[in-house]
Structure 1
Amino acid sequence: MSEAYDALLLVSFGGPEHPDDVLPFLANVTRGRGVPPERLAEVAEHYQHFGGVSPINQQCRDLLREIERGTDLPVYWGNRNWHPMLADTVAQMRDDGIKRALAFVTSAYGGYSACRQYLEDIAAARAAVGPSAPVIEKLRHFHDHPGFVEPHADAVRAARATLPPGGNVRVVFTAHSIPTSMAATAGPDGGRYEAQLDETAALVSAAGAPDLPWDLVWQSRSGPPHVPWLEPDVNDHLAALAADGVTGVVVSPIGFVSDHLEVIWDLDNEAASTAKRLGLDYVRAATPGTDPRFVAMVHDLVRERVNAADSARRSRLGTLPLWDTCSLGCCPPPRRGAP
């Protein structure tokens, strides 16, 4: 393994770790996106509700520690939007003599913000470091890998068991909403983000609650009001379910790998409050986090890329096409502010 690649890089979104970090962090996240100031102030309050600290960085530290236990490669960590910044990490890798690394990104899906933007971030970090920066290759999407699907399925099963017996129960899968124009250009044929999420939802449902109906809905919209985003929003959908006679919901955030702020605020606070107001029994299923199967998946993805025999027999449960390297025209960036 070390003859082909000499490091593994964990790449994540990043989050503030002090109240003074919140607004600079949000400025990094939303730069050039035309997000209304009132929406930024609203999101800032979400972070301040937790002392200005996002749980995502500690979750990355925990994941990093578990990944390190199963590989002989040095493992580094860099973020898109907050420290440790990706460019600083790539500079450290250069100083340590790293020449060629694989990158595991904490996003299972395709699309611009879920995949292409991370590729751009890696390229920008390498450009900032200069010609001596290591080559960095992103690992494939893992939306249908057993190490991702099975922890989600077990979490749905465990969450369901906490609901009162009987009743009209439904599973509601959630993921981060994106502009519909971005969704339409995700993947070489368009629609890849939604298609992968739909496949993940079907796989998790079949394994975790095969007898329950399910829906895929969206959360965490942040763009300008005139730009159409994927709908329905989870809160609107809960209202529709209650009106249709549903009495209980298991909400499974399959769009996420850990319980970071968009999960604990949007689902554990806002959606849970909506459900309480509607009289719905509500429980939120856990995310993979540092589940041993999820950690083992990272090692498996590395083996796939390194060994031709492993690449030929990818560990996966779905049928959508997969590839290691995206084409240059795949998932183009959105036209900012376009309707």
Structure 2
Amino acid sequence: MKICVTGSAGFITGYLVEDLLKAGHAVFGIDNYSKYGEISRSYDNHPNYHFVSGDAKNLDLLKSIVGQVEVLVAAAARIGGISYFHEYAYDLLAENERITAAAFDAALWARRERGLRRIVVISSSMVFEGATVFPTPEGAQLTSPPPHSTYGFQKLATEYFARGAWEQYQLPYTIVRPFNCVGIGEGRALNAPIILSGNVKLAMSHVLPDLVLKVLEGQDPLHILGSGEQVRHYTYGGDVALGIRLALESERTINDDVNISTGKSTTVLELAELIWKKINGSKPFRYVNDPAYPYDVQVRMPDVRKASDLLGFNATTTLDDVLNEVVPWIELQWKQGRM
């Protein structure tokens, strides 16, 4: 299958492109390197990978690519951690709306003129920011209070784009919602705000890399954002990529949505202690609590049964295995001055 992935130089998409190529698909990527700067990937010279350096808001450029494929994966977006949501509240909303509109305009044209089979929307667990039912099932985004953050609100809007394009133009869609994707390849964003957590500059205020960085720099006691009791489902990037691929390959997900996540709950404090022990061994674990950001959702816990039932998908990588891969990678980046 020929697949276009917008934002192909991103974090999740790095795992996704690799998985798609391994599965035998041809991948057409587009990215303007606006987040991390120009980077290289192990698959850059793969014969089935075709990359275009450009802006995903450039409709003519996007149409020239999407016109060649069967599936468009709309993944391009401005994204960061909690501090990023706060610092760029308007820019996130405005820029991501423009990116989303361009993707759907290109998909609608390609559906009409080239027979595009469907658009796959990479949404976010943040659409469930106001959820009160846990584990949170698909459909709760329609019954929960709307997200408070502009990022979560815009991600919910992408899902309405999909529903509207089907209702008016019969553009088939699939919506996938990754939860707390973790892995290697996530560095400090070029335009990330400088935020101090104790004596350490946060990398992205994404909890795992930031905690690793603080422990590597010898922070003691370790600064924890908020109470530490926040519940998350840290899902390995390779598992997320597999779930997205299975969703875009399946006819059972057409005009439907699916959560992609591990079923394992972990608090921020539990994660912090695991990281501490990986790096500091038996050194006593000490921490202090810093004030939380407004958009620090206390419980983000997905219902994962639908992905299992529809796709046979279950995230299998343990958090311990994730840390065994991620901690050495971040340590190398840190020593080389990239974090």
**TM bracket, shorter-chain basis:** 0.3 to 0.5
